[in-house]
Amino acid sequence: MKQAIHSKILLLVFFLLTCGSFAQQQKNSQESIVSQNQNEVLFTAVLTKHLNAVTTKNLEALKATLSPNGAMELIQPSSEIVYSVDGFIKFHEDWFKMPNWTVSTKILSTDVGDTIGVATTEFMYKEPERNGKPYFNRLIVSYTLEKTNGNWYVIKDHASSVEKTEN
């Protein structure tokens, strides 16, 4: 009889410990989901700020989205790779000075991890007149962002032209 009571108490303790562990796992899982959602929101906010800076030709806003440690890769069609934030800014500084162009952007997909995230976007670049006629270049641009000290920064921009006006 004493042994049966002892066995029942052990089973009860085991059950309570298991339930507590399960409840903690559920809580941790819910916190992880909230954290991941926040991470994705912050990632998308920085990416959107970056895209808006390009469409509005705002160099200062663009700089704010770039890695403070200077890490950057810019890969453009028919160009050598630019490997620094300074080079990235110089490219955009020169491009932003060019008159009469517009860009519209659309985020196609994102995949956000704890410290690295990637996004695929569509760029529609247009000039009202190039060589006597309208010009467009539809590009797919992928971005890699890295989280540093709790903030997301663009560290890679890779553009591929998929359709454009023939010269």
CATH code, domain with 106: 3.10.450.50
In sequence order, what are the residues at sequence separation of 6 or more whose Cβ sits closer than 8 angstroms to the Cβ of residue 74? 81, 82, 87, 88, 91, 156, 157
Measured CA to CA in angstroms, residue 141 lies from 90, 114, 116, 137, 160 at distances of 19, 22, 17, 12, 6
Residue 83 phi/psi, 5-degree rounding, is -110, 25
Number of structural domains (the chain) is: 1
Identify which has the larger pLDDT, 28 or 86: 86
Mean predicted confidence (pLDDT) in 95-107 = 96
Query: CA-to-CA distance for 120 and 124, rounded, in angstroms?
Result: 13
Please write the tens of the pLDDT for every residue from 78-91: 899 999 999 999 99
Which structural domain, as residue segments, surrounds residue 122?
Answer: 2-164
Q: For residue 29, what pLDDT band results from cuts at 50, 70 and 90? A: very low
Comparing 14-18, 34-38, 76-80, the range with the smallest average pLDDT is 14-18
Give percent above pLDDT 90 in the chain: 75
With beta carbons less than 8 A apart as the criterion, state whether 164 and 140 touch: no
